Chain A
């Protein structure tokens, strides 16, 4: 046995190359791979090619969207929906009906109690009549003589 790496061990080490380039290998695996790389021209070449490939990929620039892309998309939406897609929705579309009904009920009850307790409200059942002024016997005759 001459100690040369077998195909199986090449495969095993090649499987670690991606993580190695990503820097996500554990310390033990990294040490094992580096020891292997130091003596294996085949895996060294594979690593170099992988690095080259990834470097080329990262050099691909982001491709900007075409000019007026946002306008075109909005136009497509408008066309497909017959112009009904955009626009603020009514309150009832956004808030559940049950919540609106509950709020309306609470408002009605609050209004009832407010009017009932108010001096000027029309819902007070026993509104106090204003007291008539007291007439004292010794008071001067305030009724003018005819």
Chain B
């Protein structure tokens, strides 16, 4: 842990509000970006990023400095993201079931609620914002274990060493899962394009 981070952690343990603001200023974009890439929604990402910082502040006394502060912060963020994805997935399934039941009871036709995404336009060259949207959608279709590896490695550009420390997985496991994730993503993008 760097001296700067060491000082910051000491001040956080003293519950200095100014230190807290400095931490959010320093790491806010990284945490928000990760939550956004993992969840694909600004609202959810902002809410979750807030939860991450609140967790960090509440549990700062348990941080012993065995790893870099940023690694610990990423680990907390990754765990929050995985939990939120599971929660949203359960909620989505439940809502969809309820909506399907209601639809079956009240209508006989109309668009299918089971496929709410707008149709893709394979005849058009996707660029810029469209490409980003498509990538974000493809990332969102990966399971949470694959998603976190793709985002940490290929979007956030973290080293394998850091990713292993964050995920607490051996390097071989990270590499093989990441490979499968990349291949799955490639197939999804091909399908969309």
Contact = CB atoms under 8 A, between A and B. Distances in A.
Interface of A: 14-15, 17-19, 24, 46, 49-50, 53-54, 56-58, 60, 62-66, 69-70, 72-74, 76-77, 80, 85-89, 94
Contacts of B185: 53, 57
A60 to B, nearest CB: 5
Question: Which of B45, B136, B155 has the most chain A CB atoms closer than 10 A to its own CB?
Answer: B155
Interface residues of B, number: 45
A63 B36 contact: yes
B183 A74 contact: no
Contacts of A69: 24, 28, 32, 46, 49-50
Contacts of B30: 62
Interface stretch (B67-75, B107-115, B174-182): B174-182
A73 B24 contact: yes
A76 B20 CA distance: 13
Contacts of B53: 73
Contacts, number: 106
A15 B57 CA distance: 41
The DSSP consensus for interface residues of chain A is: helix
B135 A14 contact: no
A70 B32 contact: no
Contact of A18 (B49, B132, B182): B182
A106 B45 CA distance: 54
